Chain A
Amino acid sequence: MKNKNIKQIKVWDLPIRIFHWALLVLILAALLSGFFAPEWWLNYHIWIGYVIIGLVIFRLIWGFFGSSYSRFVSFIFSPKILLEHIKGINSNQPIYFLGHNPLGALMVFALLFVISAIIISGLINLGGIENQGPFAFLIDYATGFIAGKWHIFLAYLLIIMIFLHILGVIFESKISRISLVRAMINGKKPNLANLDNKIAIGLIKPQILPTISIMAIFAIIFIGGYFLLSRQAPSGFILMEVNEDFQSECADCHELYSPSLLPASSWEKMMNELDNHFGEDASLDIETTKNIAAYLRKYSAENWDSEASNNFMIVDNKAPYKISETPFWKERHKNIDENLFKTKPVKGKGNCSACHADAELGYFHDKNIKFRNKPVK
């Protein structure tokens, strides 16, 4: 639009432009870290999510206190206008909207909704499976597992929506010959005739003070809530008392495996077969055997609610107490070079703590995977 008679109008205020591009960068980072990064990048993924929460909250507040075209009221359209807009597109003569057009506006709401749902499902997933974050005290593994499925499904949905959004932008830019991308950078669009002018241009100025005040209130609630909640004891973790026999007898030969890593039936079988314990005689006197067996039973996988305990419940019937033969163990370690298990610091698949710093506690948090010299792929 080179016509000099047409005035360029500031449509997108600076905060909304910063919001838009920051959201783009963070969503890309979240998608990349979620789909491609190794497990121990989880913390980056989570922190990206927390920043996105801040952005979304800002957008919601700005939808009430921002300048004209940032406000939700400026892009809530009646079905009639929506239909007219679609008809216009079909006849290749779409109505020109200065702010969001009706279809674009629907996409804005849909994106905000889906991103919020991704964040919530992610936090539930984190609390249930990793036993971390603000919901660790509340959410059990099963719920976290389902939330994780939703988290991934919604992420795929988001990718599709982003593509539709880009297609829409390209389409309208072509038809109207106005670059919407440039408009989102410099904020300006030409004030063509036939524009949707139900909100007088420049009439509504952004209200900075209420925005900052409400942001501050949200920040206090969210940050305070985060610190308060994430410091609660995770659900499903009972404090295991120290059992001296368990500690001294088992740890004589190998690292301590948390009783939560196998179901009671596996522990029972193992304690009955101590005279052939992974190729060695590890028999104990009857009293010690009973004592350790009772301890293992008390805190077995059934009585614990971690990612490891829930998954190691399913054992290989041919080796019911060999953790590294469980389907889950194999699945999770399938990309690791076999030779890595033979190298010095690892010395075998049974030496969990060589890579999992919190192995003896039975946690196995992704963020605590420490041996990363060799790439997992």
Chain B
Amino acid sequence: MRNIIIILIFLLLFPLTASISAPRDDYLGQLEKMAKQFDDSFSGFSVERGKELYFRKSTTGKAETPSCTTCHSDSPLKAGQTRAGKPIDPMAVSKTPSRFTDIEKIEKWFRRNCKSVLGRECTPIEKGDFITFLMSQ
């Protein structure tokens, strides 16, 4: 009887856990479509390219923010800090499961931070790579 209750609880909770990540998968799907339009030779997002982007030192953005690591720390598993001193939860999805689950928020922060670091908007491929890298962490 006890086992059944535990199983029932898990079954009840399962849709909840699934629904947290659902927007992320949707968003990645959208990015994938856009990436294909953007580049004919696109064959899927890459953890490696995402990692390179995360650690890239850029000179084309604002001087105060040369890299993602400026605020997000040198490891996606570690908490970061805004330049004003506020803590930022780790970027890795394993550490912060709510990462990339609010599309408005993702768009807002990509728009702002790509401009701050790279001096331009990110491409769909870059966004997809970035998320894929952080999902792998």
CB contact list, A275-301 vs B, under 8 A? 275-276, 278-285
Q: Which residue of A lies closest to B70 (CB)?
A: A280
Q: Which residues of B contact A177 (CB under 8 A)?
A: none
Q: Which residues of A contact B64 (CB under 8 A)?
A: 278-280
* Nearest Cβ on chain A to B80's Cβ, whole angstroms: 11
* Nearest Cβ on chain B to A284's Cβ, whole angstroms: 7
Given contacts A280-B116, A282-B112, A283-B111, contact A253 B62 (CB under 8 A): no
Is B113 part of the contact surface with A, judged by Cβ < 8 Å? Answer: yes
Q: Which residue of B lies closest to A251 (CB)?
A: B86
Is A347 part of the contact surface with B, judged by Cβ < 8 Å? Answer: yes
Q: How far is the CA of A107 from the CA of B8 in the complex (A)?
A: 90
Is A255 part of the contact surface with B, judged by Cβ < 8 Å? Answer: yes
Q: How far is the CA of A254 from the CA of B82 in the complex (A)?
A: 7
CB atoms of A255 and B86 under 8 A apart: yes
Q: How far is the CA of A278 from the CA of B65 in the complex (A)?
A: 11
Q: Which residues of B contact A350 (CB under 8 A)?
A: 84-85
Q: Interface size on B (CB < 8 Å)? A: 16
Is B108 part of the contact surface with A, judged by Cβ < 8 Å? Answer: yes
Q: Which residue from B63, B65, B85 sits with its C-beta under 8 Å from A347?
A: B85
CB atoms of A283 and B112 under 8 A apart: yes
Q: Which residues of A contact B65 (CB under 8 A)?
A: 279-280
Given contacts A280-B62, A284-B108, contact A254 B84 (CB under 8 A): yes
Q: Which residue from A275, A283, A285, A348 sits with its C-beta under 8 Å from B84?
A: A348
CB atoms of B63 and A281 under 8 A apart: no
CB atoms of B86 and A281 under 8 A apart: no
Is A33 part of the contact surface with B, judged by Cβ < 8 Å? Answer: no
Q: How far is the CA of A279 from the CA of B112 in the complex (A)?
A: 11
Q: How far is the CA of A276 from the CA of B63 in the complex (A)?
A: 11
Q: Which residues of B contact A285 (CB under 8 A)?
A: 108
Per-residue B-contact encoding for A329-361, CB less than 8 Å = 1, 0 else: 000000000000000000110110000000000
Q: How far is the CA of A278 from the CA of B111 in the complex (A)?
A: 17
Is A252 part of the contact surface with B, judged by Cβ < 8 Å? Answer: yes
* Nearest Cβ on chain B to A123's Cβ, whole angstroms: 38
Q: How far is the CA of A164 from the CA of B82 in the complex (A)?
A: 60
Q: How far is the CA of A225 from the CA of B116 in the complex (A)?
A: 57
Q: Which residue of B lies closest to A354 (CB)?
A: B85
B residues contacting A by CB (< 8 A) are 62-65, 81-86, 108, 111-113, 115-116
